[in-house]
Copies of this chain bind each other. A is one copy, B any other.
């Protein structure tokens, strides 16, 4: 009972059965759309249930079925700031997952897990609270994730596909995304393109790889000083950009590992009196909603976030059914807006 007052016991299947003059099995079958039940009886029971505002107790159902139709979703959080990694990309992803799970009649259990103790997420599974887990963000935790896979916890990670990977991942094609972005800048005649991102993280590393490849393909040399390390946080992105500009190294283009980084970099550029896109053309990554609405609207690499949720859910459900789904790499595309233009 939820309420302290024992006023009105929550109605349950037995009540419906009694009132309808049938057994609980019949009620159960009627309500669950079993085929071996008289259409008329079903009508009567369904009607009655609705009129009494009855709805089935899922705890009981789940216990009986041994499956709770709940998926745990984990966005690792940083213990130091005790805060969700605040990239808006994740909110979009959460929405996409919620959609995909709702479509399949699964519930979404949101859980905070310390990024340093990613193995805690096994608890979600071990206690039966979730029949599978989706991790948004691989970060630098490849090894921890591999260990979890060995423990046979069914989970899927949003991130890059890596060598010796024992778990299933879904991510965008970072390499080709990086090439697309950088190629675009090079084709616009940009020659000194900075890369903003933390290449110790797999996803950013692959995007950087694409950056290098594009340069090679276009026969443009890469100045290693143009590699500007920064995490995915707004504050660090700004600081990094700032520090870079203070060095006076010339540049005419930027490929940032995320839209958040790109947008913050643009702010710093503006503050330095540099014009985007004329002086410095900027390409981001993600295509978050804000990308279309910042100033100037950001040219970026679109990650198919809507498909991402569905893809991850699909993989996870397959895994739960005992299959061994392949990791998936989703195609990216270049979305051209106003933050890039031909070199003057």
Q: Most chain-B CB neighbours within 10 Å: which of A73, A154, A322? A: A322
Tell me the complex Cα distance, A207–B86, Å.
Answer: 26
B-side contacts of A73, CB under 8 Å: 110
Cβ-defined contact, B57 with A128, below 8 A: yes
Q: Does A56 contact B (CB under 8 A)?
A: yes
Residue in contact with A3 in the complex, picked from B88, B107, B268, B320, CB distance below 8 Å: B320
Cβ-defined contact, A77 with B95, below 8 A: yes
B-side contacts of A270, CB under 8 Å: 270, 295
Residue in contact with A289 in the complex, picked from B59, B62, B234, CB distance below 8 Å: B234
Tell me the complex Cα distance, A112–B70, Å.
Answer: 14
B-side contacts of A152, CB under 8 Å: 3
Considering the complex, give the chain B residue whose CB is closest to the CB of A62. B59
B-side contacts of A86, CB under 8 Å: 88, 91-92, 289
Residue in contact with A132 in the complex, picked from B1, B2, B154, B295, CB distance below 8 Å: B2
Query: How many copies of this chain does the complex contain?
Result: 2
Cβ-defined contact, A290 with B234, below 8 A: yes
Q: Given A59-B59, A84-B94, A112-B102, are A154 and B295 neighbors across the interface (CB < 8 Å)? A: no
Considering the complex, give the chain B residue whose CB is closest to the CB of A132. B2
Q: Given A91-B90, A290-B234, are A322 and B62 neighbors across the interface (CB < 8 Å)? A: no
Interface of A is mostly: mixed
Interface string of A111-131 (1 = CB under 8 A from B): 110000000000101111101
Instruction: Name the interface residues of A243-295: CB closer than 8 Å to any CB of B.
Output: 264, 267-268, 270-271, 289-290, 292-295
B-side contacts of A154, CB under 8 Å: 2-3
Q: Does A4 contact B (CB under 8 A)?
A: yes
Q: Does A66 contact B (CB under 8 A)?
A: yes
Q: Does A25 contact B (CB under 8 A)?
A: no
Cβ-defined contact, A293 with B320, below 8 A: no
A interface bracket (residues with beta carbon within 8 Å of B): 35 or more
Cβ-defined contact, B234 with A126, below 8 A: no
B-side contacts of A238, CB under 8 Å: 293
Q: Does A40 contact B (CB under 8 A)?
A: no
Chain B min CB distance to A63 (Å): 4
Residue in contact with A99 in the complex, picked from B10, B63, B112, B289, CB distance below 8 Å: B112
Q: Does A223 contact B (CB under 8 A)?
A: no
Pick 18 A–B contacts, CB within 8 A, sort by A: A2-B132, A3-B322, A4-B321, A5-B322, A10-B128, A57-B63, A59-B59, A82-B99, A84-B91, A86-B88, A86-B289, A98-B111, A107-B111, A108-B111, A109-B109, A267-B294, A267-B295, A271-B295
Known: A84-B95, A267-B295. 17 other contacts (CB 8 A): A2-B125, A3-B152, A3-B154, A4-B321, A10-B128, A57-B128, A58-B128, A73-B110, A82-B99, A88-B91, A90-B91, A94-B110, A102-B111, A109-B109, A234-B290, A267-B293, A271-B295
